[in-house]
Structure formats: structure tokens, C-alpha cells
Amino acid sequence: MTDQKDWESTEVIICGCGPTGALLSAYLGRAGVHNVVVEKEPTITTDPRGIALDDDGIRLLQGLGLYDSIYTKIGTSMGRFNFVSGTDCDMHRTPILAMDYNIIAGATGHVGYIGHKQPVLESHIRNCMPSSHCSLRCNATVVQLEEDEDWTYCTYRDATGEERGIRARFFVGADGKTGYTRKKYLEPRGVFMEKFHAAFYEETWVALNWRITVPTPQSHPNFPLWKRGYSPEQVYDLFFPPEFRFLCNPDRPAVSGRFGLPADRLWRFEYIIHKGEDGCVMASPEEMRRVVYPYITHRGSRYQLAEDVQFPEDCIEVLRCRPFTFSSRTCNVWAKDRVILCGDAAHVFPPFGGQGIVSGFRDAMSLSWRLAMLCRYHTNNKAHYHVLKAWYEERKQQLKLSLATTVANGVMVCETHPLKIFLRDWYIWFVQFIPSWRRQLQHGRRKATIFRYRHSNGMPFIPDLNGGLYLPQVYCRRIEDNEILFTDDAIYGSLNNASLFRLFVYARDSSEIPAIKHTLEGIENWSRGEFSATDIPFILEKGDIDPTSLSKGKNTFQVATADEFADSPLCSDRPRPSDYDPCLLGDKVQGKYIIVRMDRVIFASCANEDELRRAVHTMLGYLHGDDPAEH
């Protein structure tokens, strides 16, 4: 080992600055953890790879202060996901099922999905990495990794070819499924990718990205639809319809849709490679045209024309067309000693549910506060083994659900057996006559599946106090100035508070406040300074507000209606909320005093002072180095 005095020191090293690594760095920085990110590429990769981000991902961007950029610079709501059956390559065919992700049916207050341009997404996240605590080293290639009981030692080669050494208490590999951390360092130590047997999938697909230029009567005077009265924008919508489509074509299943901002005019098309076909051959320009162009060629009879109509080929710029092997796999362990895996380095997803990037986000967010705890409180013990093991065992529960849903979508899209296709289409048609089932299908089952972790040793929540439940987010109105906010912004604020847990009060009406304030007296002392009575947000569900019962300041809020949110600046550039339940937060937290983790998971929901004191005692034991396996 090189003499330690020659090594630069930090608290966490992150290998890879894709979406997962950047988000982890940003949240670590906000928690006061110094970190260095080493990224082998000189700049952000311009290829738009992932294109979909679900409402959990939007929520975590919101937590970084990026909400104002989500719908104006990063992406736009993807609207409905249309499952289209048949073999006629018609994207306008009536779908057998349409899941509407414009509606606010989930637990976050956000639309179900945005279609984003990944390089723009990454750029905005990097801008949230505070320079006071985060250092990004681009053009830096890891060449060696070592560790002892207290430190990890990383040697990397910079842009000049010089080798530099840096040590940290923890090393996080967010460098993808073929990156250095897992392939070169951890696999020889017994860490490997394994099939997710409950929801296994593995196929090769071609993924292509197009940038579209809209033809005009001036640029393409002979295009036949001008004579039929169509405008350039109408032509664009006809050939590249605005909503996402899962093309359940038994001859060759495919997925297609727009992504990025409307002005970007980007389009994704993915199609499966059959057994016996060569992926590189099927991604060639000739084979790509054979597979894809029938979808952008319309029968002339549709427009009362003798000849078929194809979208002009010179208006299509191919940004990418290459084969990828998609599979559902996860590593047997995600952390070994002081080296940790995140995102694609720890698990990989098929392309049917937009879960690749957001799963990495969830990893990063749930890991960030744990690393902050280990760096802040556990400097002289070996608690990291239990903390990290509980982290990835907890995450694997949610991963299992995401993979199962994703693979189920894939099975529906990729079915080729005629009888099974008939039964699938008949079943979907039939259940939509039952209103409650139709509603669940159209909502993508979001409201019915607010996730809850199952407790086992070391997991930081109290199961008998409603711990482990994913915290719902609704809209609220600040009493002092009537500003409309998300409840996360009321609870977590700027994330600059030193505490790694938050405590908030949920009251049905203001008559409960005097007794609640009495309970919270002196909490600074018995929480060892983790909570302050003057900083605890009060969220009131309903009823008239009694001004005499409220404290001065900006910490008292009332649940807001959908109309109040729709009329606020927060609803600019995004769909107005529909099917929004303002009582969702109160119904789910089931208590007055709610302690929540930084990853939006309830630690404990307490009905009275005795339960609150018990929960705070348990929380402090976890924070300050008691054996987490005992909690």
C-alpha cells in the first residue's frame, strides 16, 4: 500500500457520473458529506439512452430543487401508454389498453411518467452537486482499487495520463453493468449478477433514436398530403403520434414514442431480435428500414389517394441504431466491506417500464443518508456492514416489485402464441366492463400499490408504528402567505437541516394543535438536538384555521385542493391534476407525529407522546451506533 500521507482524502468516492452517480453526489453534498466523483468520459454522453422517468424519479428531482426545470427543460408528460395489438403496423389502431399517466393517481402528486432527454437530465443533476462538498473529476479512469479496515484507496489516471491517488471511507460503483467496480474488483471477490428468477427476462432488441424535421410545402412541395389540407404539424402527429405505444405485434414486438421536449422532436423505436437473427445485422440501415418504415408508411386509401404515403426519409436523422441485450438480473450482494454498487452496476432492467434510471435514483437516495450517517456518527466502529446489508436487502424488495411489473408488461407486448393473444385481448376487453378494474388498469395500479417494506433485522423503521411505508405526497397551502407547495417541500425544506430524519405533525384540524404543542415541549433535549419544536412542520387536513393556535413563521400548512394546485405556478407547463386525493397523506400515515427518513420512507408514525418518545429513542440508537441488528 502506498504511504497514506501521499493520498488525497475524502469521505466517499463515486465511480461514474451518470444519473445515479450524479444524484448520489448531489444528495450526499446536501447532507454535508464530502465526495469525489471520478468519471471516465470527458463530457456528458450525448446519446439519449434512457428516455422515461416515473413519478418517483420526478419526486427525487424535486427534492434537489429542480421542479421548475422538469417540464420546461428536461422533459414532458408521456400521457397515455397505449398497448396496440395486431400485425398491420398501424400506430393509430385502437389500443386494447390505455394507461393514462397524465392523471395524478399515485403517491407523489406528479404525473406518472415524463419522457426526457438523458443528457439534459444529467446536466441538470450535475448542476445540483454543491461545489462545497462535491468534486467531479472527468476524463478520470480508475485503474486500481484497494481497501483496508478503515479506508478504500482509489488510483485513477487523469486526462494527462498521470496517476493520482485518493482515499475515502466508502467507494460507490455507479459505473454501469460493464464498469470497473463490479467487473474488475468485486466479481473476483464473489459478487456476481444472477437471474431474478421470480421475474426473469432476457432478449436482444434494437434501440433507435430519430430526430425528426417537419416537412413543409416549401421543403417538400410534392408531398401528397398538402393537397388534402394537412398542415406540417398535423403530418408530424399523423406519422409520429404523441402518446407512447407498446406494439404487441406477434410478428415482431416493438415499442415507440416521442421523448424529450416537444421542440426536440425526438422519437424512440425499439424492436425485438428473433432467435437466430444477428443483432448487428438487424440494426443495419437496410434491416432497420424493413422493420420500422412500415409504421411510417400509410395506406393511400386512408387519405383517398391511389398511392401509399411514406414520411419523407430526408426528414429523419438517425441518432442511434444498435442492438442491446436487455435482461432482469441483480447482484447477489450490493456491498462488500466498504465497496458498494448502485444502479446498473447492481441490477439491470428490461425496457418495458421505464425503471432503469429511477431504480438507480432510489438506490442513490436511500444510500445517501445512510452513508451520511456512517460518516457522521459511526467513525470508529464497524456498523457499516449491518447498515449496508440492511440497505440492499430493503432495496431488493422494491426492486422485485418493479421487475415483476416490468416483465409483466414485456410478456404482454411480446406474446406470439395465437391462443394466448386471443385470451389476453379478450381478458383485457372483458375486465374493462367492471368499473373498479377498468380504473385500476387505466391508472397503471399506482394508487393501489403504495409500497411498504417488510421489516427484518437492521432495517431502519419500526413496523408496528406504520414504519416502512412509502410516504405519500400531496399538495398543501402555507397558512402565512397562501403559497401552494408540495408536502415534501414543507417537510424536508431545502435539505440543509443537519438531521437525517424529519419529524412533522399531521392534524385533522387546528383544535388539536395546543395538545400537540404541549407534547413537543422539550423535544430538543430528549431527541439530543435532532428535532427542534420551532422547526417542526404542522400539516392540517381540513377545518377552519384558528389563528391563535398557530405559531408565527412558515411551518404551518393546510392540505390543498386540486383546483388550488391547478391555479398555482406549480401547475404551469404540466397537466392539471385529476383523480387527486387530498386525504391520501392523512389516510396512510395513521398518526399525529411522523418521523420520516430522507428517502421518503416512514420511520414511525406515532399517535401519542409515549409512542413518539419510543420512536425517537430507537432512532437515536440507530443513528449513534447501537447495533442496528437489534432494532
The model's pLDDT over 123-143, given as tens digits with 9 standing for 90+, comes to 999 999 999 999 999 999 999
Split at pLDDT 50, 70, 90, the class of 354 is: low
pTM of the model: 0.93
**Which of the 8 DSSP states describes residue 354?**
S
Split at pLDDT 50, 70, 90, the class of 428 is: confident
For 246-297, give the secondary structure using H, E and C. Answer: EEECCCCCEEEEEECCHHHCEEEEEEECCCCCCHHHHCCHHHHHHHHHHHHE
Count of C-beta atoms within a 10 Å radius of residue 362: 24
Range from 270-284, 412-426, 530-544, 582-596 carrying the lowest mean pLDDT: 412-426
Find out whether 22 and 386 touch, Cβ atoms under 8 Å: no
568 sits in the region (left: phi over 0; alpha: psi -120 to 50; else beta) called beta
Split at pLDDT 50, 70, 90, the class of 553 is: low
Find out whether 346 and 334 touch, Cβ atoms under 8 Å: yes
Task: Give me the percent of the chain exceeding a pLDDT of 70.
Answer: 93
Q: So what's the pLDDT on residue 1?
A: 46
Which residue bears the cell 389500443? 95
* pLDDT digit string, tens, across residues 70-123: 999 999 999 888 999 988 999 999 998 888 888 776 789 999 899 999 999 999
Alpha-carbon distance 427 to 415, whole Å? 14
Which residue bears the cell 409515549? 610
Alpha-carbon distance 380 to 399, whole Å? 32
Q: So what's the pLDDT on residue 56?
A: 93
Please choose, from the candidates 67, 141, 126, 120, the residue with its C-alpha nearest in 3D space to the C-alpha of residue 571: 67
Q: So what's the pLDDT on residue 611?
A: 97
* pLDDT digit string, tens, across residues 370-388: 999 999 988 666 789 999 9
Alpha helical stretches, state H, 432-556: 435-442, 487-492, 513-520, 523-526
Q: So what's the pLDDT on residue 520?
A: 93
Task: Give me the percent of the chain exceeding a pLDDT of 90.
Answer: 69
| Cell triple for 311 | 414520411
Please choose, from the candidates 112, 59, 68, 133, the residue with its C-alpha nearest in 3D space to the C-alpha of residue 491: 59
Query: How confident is the model over 433-446, as a mean pLDDT?
Result: 75
Tell me the sheet residues that pair with 317.
211
Query: How confident is the model over 504-516, as a mean pLDDT?
Result: 90
Alpha-carbon distance 74 to 183, whole Å? 32
Split at pLDDT 50, 70, 90, the class of 432 is: confident
* pLDDT digit string, tens, across residues 145-175: 999 999 999 999 999 999 999 999 999 999 9
* pLDDT digit string, tens, across residues 563-622: 999 999 999 889 888 888 999 999 999 999 999 999 999 999 999 999 999 999 999 999
**Which of the 8 DSSP states describes residue 366?**
H
Query: How confident is the model over 203-227, as a mean pLDDT?
Result: 95
* pLDDT digit string, tens, across residues 531-549: 998 889 999 997 666 655 5
2 sits in the region (left: phi over 0; alpha: psi -120 to 50; else beta) called beta
Is the pLDDT assigned to residue 495 strictly greater than 60? Answer: no
* pLDDT digit string, tens, across residues 286-312: 999 999 999 999 999 999 999 999 999
Is the pLDDT assigned to residue 318 strictly greater than 80? Answer: yes
Side-chain-side CA neighbours of 191 within 13 Å: the count stands at 24
Q: So what's the pLDDT on residue 327?
A: 79
What's the chain's average pLDDT?
90
Alpha helical stretches, state H, 457-591: 487-492, 513-520, 523-526, 562-566, 584-589
Q: Which residue has the higher pLDDT, 413 or 280?
A: 280
Alpha-carbon distance 475 to 324, whole Å? 40
Split at pLDDT 50, 70, 90, the class of 328 is: confident
What domains are defined for the chain?
8-69+113-199+327-418 (3.50.50.60), 463-624 (3.40.30)
What is the full DSSP assignment across 33-47? --EEEEESSSS---S
* pLDDT digit string, tens, across residues 31-59: 999 999 999 999 998 888 889 999 999 99
Query: How confident is the model over 209-225, as a mean pLDDT?
Result: 97
